């Protein structure tokens, strides 16, 4: 208790106790130098190295990213050019094919026209032959029929030739119509 | 029995006892070389600085963990302060300013631990720091600019008749710098600690009503934590301002 009171009596303002100054200044100098050595020799070089390496890494990464971006842009341009060339090529090819098809179509149409005309001519010839044949047959049948009818009605020999001539003339006239 | 004794004695508060510089080893009187409580807490401050700066950066990670991030934050904060306030040509002095900042902030914050000791609450310590800054910047000023450093006191932008008067005021203000620089820090640290001790003494004799001073102690403690950081910042930024004057004395 006595010691406690003694301390309190000593207290006053301890900051103004000049007898303690040398002690405080001595230890301040010692530990401040120690802190300075830690800061100067170890901490700051290490932190500076970490920070500068990080900045360098960030710079390198950004540079790489910029280069890759440029490369991508080049590739995009190249792709666009290739696409444009392919489009031009395909358009040319399509036009060429269309022309070829048109030519083939025209040619086929011409050939078909020629064939059709030949077939029509052939058919007309055949029709004409058939008509001729039919007319010939009709005249004979008509002659026979007329002669038979007349024979049934008038059984006279001379008239038959006359009838046949009339029938021929009639059939001839029908055919020419 | 003890309570009766307390009541008989009344309220005895000794808020300044916590600032007594006493030897830690041995019972003898305090000698200039004694390992005192100041020395012990400066050693703890050194240990704290080593743990913070060296252990915090041991991984040297590109992507820092929380600890390393705080260390880098403080590093960047002080470095930018030196560069912004004193200019790029002050960066060679960055290690000295970082040392002062780390010492002051760790002393201030460690001093808030109950039963601890705050070296920066002593004028001997802060005055030594401030005088070191004062003498250093004055020497730097004269080494860099010779007698041109005296241009710091000659305000060429002021009207000619006023310049001698202003020069006297500037010289006085220049020599007052170490005093204000040191008393500001020591005073702030001492006042807060003394106030906490006074409230703590109230709490000891108020019985159930002790919650009032305890709340006050908690509030003041929060304020003191803020003051500890702010005073470290103020001490460092003023050092940078003085360094700027030494490096660029022209008005």
pLDDT in tens, B64-108: 999 999 999 999 999 999 999 999 999 999 999 999 999 999 999
Quote the CA–CA distance of B132 and B48 in Å, as a whole number. Answer: 23
* pLDDT on residue A38: 96
Search chain A and give the residue with CA nearest B106: A35
Q: At what angle do helices B94-110 and B123-145 cross, to 10 degrees?
A: 170
| Residue range B40-56: mean pLDDT, rounded | 96
Q: Is the pLDDT of residue B38 over 60?
A: yes
Taking contacts as CB-CB distances below 8 angstroms, the residues of chain B near A17 are: 20-21
Answer whether residue B4 is part of any domain.
no
* pLDDT on residue B251: 63
Answer whether residue B34 is part of any domain.
yes
Search chain B and give the residue with CA nearest A36: B99
Residues A28, B45: C-beta atoms closer than 8 Å: no
Count CB-CB contacts under 10 A for residue B96: 19
Is B45 in the A-facing interface, judged by CB distances under 8 Å?
Answer: yes
Tokens of B53: 């700066």
Answer whether residue B159 is part of any domain.
yes
pLDDT band, very low/low/confident/very high, at B3 (cuts 50, 70, 90): very low
Is A96 in the B-facing interface, judged by CB distances under 8 Å?
Answer: no
Answer whether residue B24 is part of any domain.
yes
Full domain range(s) for residue B15:
10-247
Is B186 in the A-facing interface, judged by CB distances under 8 Å?
Answer: yes
* pLDDT on residue A11: 53
The closest CB to that of B99, out of A11, A16, A35, belongs to A35
Answer whether residue B204 is part of any domain.
yes
Q: Is the pLDDT of residue B1 over 60?
A: no
Quote the CA–CA distance of B106 and B102 in Å, as a whole number. Answer: 6
Is A51 in the B-facing interface, judged by CB distances under 8 Å?
Answer: yes
The closest CB to that of B57, out of A31, A32, A47, belongs to A47
The overall average pLDDT reported for chain B is 91
To test the contact with chain A by mutation, choose from B26, B31, B39, B126 the residue with the greatest count of A C-beta atoms within 10 A, namely B39
The total number of structural domains in chain B stands at 1
Answer whether residue B3 is part of any domain.
no
The answer to whether B216 touches B206, Cβ cutoff 8 Å, is: no
The pTM score is 0.74
Question: A114: buried, middle or exposed (CB in 10 Å: 19+, 13-18, 0-12)?
Answer: exposed
Tens-place pLDDT, residues B220-238: 999 999 999 999 999 999 9
Is A54 in the B-facing interface, judged by CB distances under 8 Å?
Answer: yes
Tens-place pLDDT, residues B198-212: 998 888 888 888 899
Answer whether residue B5 is part of any domain.
no
Task: Give percent above pLDDT 70 in chain B.
Answer: 96
Residue with the bigger pLDDT between B1 and B50: it is B50
Q: B111 phi and psi, to 5 degrees? A: -65, -10
DSSP 8-class letter at B36 = B
Q: Is the pLDDT of residue B8 over 50?
A: no
Q: What is the mean pLDDT of each run of 10 residues along chain A (177 residues)?
A: 44 85 96 97 94 92 96 95 95 94 94 93 92 83 81 70 76 65
* pLDDT on residue A174: 63
Is B138 in the A-facing interface, judged by CB distances under 8 Å?
Answer: no
Is A27 in the B-facing interface, judged by CB distances under 8 Å?
Answer: yes
Interacting residues of B231 by C-beta distance below 8 A, sequence separation 6+? B104, B108, B120, B184, B185, B188, B189
Is A8 in the B-facing interface, judged by CB distances under 8 Å?
Answer: yes
* pLDDT on residue B208: 85
Rounded to a whole number of angstroms, the distance from the CA of A63 to the nearest CA of chain B is 18
* pLDDT on residue B9: 56
Quote the CA–CA distance of A72 and B19 in Å, as a whole number. Answer: 69
Q: Is the pLDDT of residue B132 over 60?
A: yes
Is A169 in the B-facing interface, judged by CB distances under 8 Å?
Answer: no
| Residue range B152-158: mean pLDDT, rounded | 89
Residues B50, A17: C-beta atoms closer than 8 Å: no
Count CB-CB contacts under 10 A for residue B189: 28
Residues A24, B36: C-beta atoms closer than 8 Å: yes
Q: At what angle do helices B37-50 and A21-37 cross, to 10 degrees?
A: 10
Interacting residues of B145 by C-beta distance below 8 A, sequence separation 6+? B151, B249
The answer to whether B251 touches B119, Cβ cutoff 8 Å, is: no
* pLDDT on residue B7: 47
In a 3-state reduction of DSSP, which class is residue B23? Answer: strand
The answer to whether A20 touches A14, Cβ cutoff 8 Å, is: yes
Answer whether residue B134 is part of any domain.
yes
Rounded to a whole number of angstroms, the distance from the CA of B130 to the nearest CA of chain A is 12
């Amino acid at each position: 208790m006595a010691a406690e009171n003694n301390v309190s009596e000593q207290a006053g303002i301890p900051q103004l106790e000049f007898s303690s100054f040398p002690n405080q200044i001595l230890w301040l100098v010692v530990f401040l130098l120690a802190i300075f050595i830690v800061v100067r020799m170890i901490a700051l070089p290490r932190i500076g190295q970490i920070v500068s390496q990080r900045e360098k890494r960030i710079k390198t990464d950004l540079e790489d990213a910029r280069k890759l971006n440029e490369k991508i842009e080049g590739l995009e341009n190249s792709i666009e050019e290739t696409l444009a060339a392919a489009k031009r090529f395909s358009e040319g090819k399509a036009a060429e094919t269309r022309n070829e098809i048109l030519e083939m179509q025209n040619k086929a149409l011409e050939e078909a026209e020629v064939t059709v005309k030949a077939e029509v001519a052939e058919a007309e010839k055949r029709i004409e032959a058939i008509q001729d044949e039919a007319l010939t047959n009709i005249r004979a049948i008509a002659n026979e029929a007329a002669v038979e009818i007349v024979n049934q009605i008038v059984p006279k020999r001379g008239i038959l030739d006359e009838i046949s001539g009339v029938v021929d003339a009639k059939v001839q006239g029908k055919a020419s119509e | 029995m003890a309570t009766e004794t307390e009541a008989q004695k009344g309220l005895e508060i000794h808020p300044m006892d916590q600032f007594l510089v006493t030897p830690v080893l041995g019972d003898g009187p305090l000698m200039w070389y004694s390992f005192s409580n100041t020395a012990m807490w400066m050693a703890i401050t050194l240990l704290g600085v080593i743990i913070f700066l060296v252990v915090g950066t041991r991984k040297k990670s590109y992507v820092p963990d929380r600890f390393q991030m705080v260390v880098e934050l403080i590093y960047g904060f002080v470095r930018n302060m030196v560069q912004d306030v004193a200019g790029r040509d002050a960066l060679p002095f960055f290690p000295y300013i970082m040392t002062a900042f780390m010492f002051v902030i760790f002393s201030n914050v460690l001093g808030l631990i109950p039963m601890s000791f705050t070296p920066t609450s002593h004028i001997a310590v802060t005055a030594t720091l401030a005088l070191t800054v004062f003498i250093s910047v004055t020497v730097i000023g004269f080494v860099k600019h010779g007698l041109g450093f005296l241009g710091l006191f000659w305000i060429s932008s002021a009207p000619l008749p006023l310049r001698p008067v202003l020069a006297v005021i500037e010289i006085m203000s220049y020599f007052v710098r170490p005093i204000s620089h040191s008393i500001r820090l020591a005073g702030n640290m001492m006042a807060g600690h003394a106030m906490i001790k006074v409230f703590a003494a109230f709490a000891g004799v108020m019985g159930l009503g002790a919650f009032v001073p305890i709340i006050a102690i908690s509030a003041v403690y929060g304020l003191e934590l803020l003051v500890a950081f702010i005073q470290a910042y103020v001490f460092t930024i003023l050092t940078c301002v003085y360094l700027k004057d030494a490096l660029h004395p022209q008005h």
